[in-house]
Chain A
Amino acid sequence: MSRLGIFVDRRTLSSSDQLTSLIRCRDAAEEMGHSVEFIFPVDIRKIPQMDALFIRARTDPMNITYVASRMAAFAGIPVIDDPESIQVCSDKVNMYMHLARAGVAIPRTLFLSKEDIHPSRVRDIMDDLGTPLVLKEPSTSFSLRVERVEDPAAFIRVARRYLKMSDWVVAQEYVQSTYDWRIGVLRGRFLYACKYIIPSQTFKIQDSVNGHVVYCAVESVPPDAVPAPIRDLGVAAGKAIGDGLYGVDIKDGKEPKVIEVNDNPSLEGGEDGSYPHVYREIVHALLET
């Protein structure tokens, strides 16, 4: 019997969906004969006593999850998400650099610094990438700090706001779609697939519309209904990042393109509805390989 630590924080436990998902994970591990301990930030020194660590909290290199992941790495125990995956996936510049280096199809993308944000350069960028285009602050998650801009004035306004948080920002070709594929990848292998149906009021999977947060609908897709090019692209994108657990977002079209690769992918929204063994596979990857 091995000991699995599940690292959580207060925010993780703030929704019933998250709690239910954590309990499913714990049950899966216990059914496989392992013990499970939930580890909170104040218990971080317990990490070296575990045989593996599964992080279920919002990851970022500047927060406590990175501390937990590095502590596991220092102790030589398997961890999802590993520090390198947190570092790459939390920063869209880093993530797109990894994808591009591996030849994974992505929308046309530029990295811009403050010297780029002047009218003539912005017009050139909009001519190059087309309009509208999408601006992203690199450490955005849950579609925060992602905006579609239609003209140079909006471009400059949004870019200047993002440049207060990062010295580089991402400008990207806009790819219209009514849904995103989400391909789950674990250790370089296909794990699950679902569709995020984008709310009609927005172009993002989550947004604030007239003061109300609107969420995408989640539709789990069985393995035999996942087109091979989508599945293969998702796996290739996961491999381009590392050897962990990833949720790869793909825009379907004539040529599918990866929009982003997420570490710590959500599993509480029904993403794994057609894949009842997702948590067993994660526990197996952490403790039995």
Chain B
Amino acid sequence: MNGVSPGIATPAEQQGGVPAAAVNRRGFHLARDRVYTVRYGGYTTFVSENYSYKSETYYAILARELAGEAVAPDTQSMLDAFVVPVCLERAGHCGIPVAAYTIMHSCAPAPAIVYGLNYFASTSHFEVLTGDARDREKVRHVTNGGKYPCCSQPISPDMAVTRAVSVFGKVLSPVPGMQEMAGSVWECFRIPLVELVCLSGPGGPVLSSLCPVRYSRLQPAERRLLKACIFGQVFL
């Protein structure tokens, strides 16, 4: 690459996709920080617990993208998914019901769910404003003392925050409408392992954000589903 060495390969690249441990299914376990690759629908699909910007997964996918390989998710989808307003705009364009939001610097009317919008913010961390005395401190926290803006989503009294882990667009959640939501999010972003944070009310769930998922947080049934997907059983 003309003076550029790509440096060290990611674990997935070193082992040609599914790691050696996975060849023997009985001994297979989802190892922390490990990246697994699955060929699906003409794409090399990266399964990871960390799709964040400048992560090993991000750079592994970037290198493949620039080499002309069809990959999922692509790096733009990774960026889009975890910056809340972009996530909602893109999801909305994909026909997914999304939460209403505003960008604010300080006060947000309660009740609302607020996300930080800055270099250090993570969608895994949000605050729910309930209208009590602690709201001001919560907003100060996500805006880093008012230095950065935040994304505020109003919650109506009949709404609740619901979460579900999507594995290749499939969820085990009993919440009505969540399976359709997960399928649509998978079609829109192509992120095989992601948590949906939704605001659920009488009209069904609306998407609030997407979060990364640690393998260690998966329920046993979700873990089995992910393993089945990595081995290609679910796609047959």
Residues of A within 8 A of B (CB): 41-42, 44-45, 60-64, 66-67, 70-71, 74, 83-84, 87, 91, 93-94, 96-98, 100-101, 103, 106-113, 115-116, 138-139, 165-168
Least distance between A151 CB and chain B CB atoms (Å): 21
**B180 an interface residue at 8 Å Cβ cutoff?**
no
Pairwise interchain contact A139-B54, C-beta atoms closer than 8 A: yes
Pairwise interchain contact A167-B54, C-beta atoms closer than 8 A: yes
Select one of B8, B59, B83 contacting A93, CB under 8 A.
B59
**B56 an interface residue at 8 Å Cβ cutoff?**
yes
Q: Using known A-B contacts A42-B104, A61-B79, determine if residue A67 contacts B3 with beta carbons closer than 8 Å.
A: no
**B15 an interface residue at 8 Å Cβ cutoff?**
no
Select one of B6, B56, B75, B102 contacting A167, CB under 8 A.
B56
Pairwise interchain contact B62-A111, C-beta atoms closer than 8 A: no
Select one of B59, B75, B117 contacting A67, CB under 8 A.
B117
CA distance A108 to B86 in the complex (A): 36
Select one of A62, A101, A106 contacting B118, CB under 8 A.
A62
14 cross-chain CB contacts under 8 A: A41-B103, A63-B148, A64-B148, A66-B79, A67-B85, A74-B90, A106-B3, A106-B4, A110-B4, A111-B4, A111-B6, A113-B8, A116-B8, A165-B54
Residues in chain B near residue A165, CB distance under 8 A: 54
0/1 interface trace, chain B 102-142, chain A, CB 8 Å (1 if under): 11110000000000011101000000000000000000000
Closest A-chain residue to B4, C-beta based?
Answer: A100
**B40 an interface residue at 8 Å Cβ cutoff?**
no
Q: Using known A-B contacts A110-B7, A112-B7, A165-B54, determine if residue A64 contacts B103 with beta carbons closer than 8 Å.
A: yes
Pairwise interchain contact A94-B62, C-beta atoms closer than 8 A: yes
Residues in chain A near residue B93, CB distance under 8 A: 74
Least distance between A178 CB and chain B CB atoms (Å): 23
Select one of A61, A84, A103 contacting B53, CB under 8 A.
A61
CA distance A282 to B63 in the complex (A): 32
Least distance between B25 CB and chain A CB atoms (Å): 28
**B89 an interface residue at 8 Å Cβ cutoff?**
yes
CA distance A183 to B59 in the complex (A): 28
Least distance between A206 CB and chain B CB atoms (Å): 19
Pairwise interchain contact B3-A100, C-beta atoms closer than 8 A: yes
B53, B76, B102: residue with the most chain A Cβ atoms closer than 10 Å: B53
Pairwise interchain contact B117-A60, C-beta atoms closer than 8 A: no
Residues in chain B near residue A74, CB distance under 8 A: 89-90, 93
Residues of B within 8 A of A (CB): 1-8, 53-56, 58-59, 62-63, 66, 75-76, 79-80, 83, 85-86, 89-90, 93, 102-105, 117-119, 121, 148-149
Pairwise interchain contact B119-A62, C-beta atoms closer than 8 A: yes
Least distance between A114 CB and chain B CB atoms (Å): 9
Pairwise interchain contact A107-B118, C-beta atoms closer than 8 A: no
Closest B-chain residue to A9, C-beta based?
Answer: B149
Pairwise interchain contact B66-A101, C-beta atoms closer than 8 A: yes
CA distance A255 to B155 in the complex (A): 60
Q: Using known A-B contacts A84-B76, A94-B62, determine if residue A42 contacts B83 with beta carbons closer than 8 Å.
A: no
CA distance A167 to B53 in the complex (A): 9
List 6 A-B pairs, minimum CB-CB distance, nearest first: A111-B7, A100-B4, A166-B54, A100-B1, A41-B149, A167-B56
Closest A-chain residue to B55, C-beta based?
Answer: A167
Pairwise interchain contact A61-B83, C-beta atoms closer than 8 A: yes
Pairwise interchain contact A44-B105, C-beta atoms closer than 8 A: no
Pairwise interchain contact B86-A67, C-beta atoms closer than 8 A: yes
Pairwise interchain contact A168-B3, C-beta atoms closer than 8 A: no
Pairwise interchain contact B63-A97, C-beta atoms closer than 8 A: yes
A70, A87, A107: residue with the most chain B Cβ atoms closer than 10 Å: A70
Residues in chain A near residue B76, CB distance under 8 A: 83-84, 87
Least distance between A243 CB and chain B CB atoms (Å): 16
Residues in chain B near residue A166, CB distance under 8 A: 54
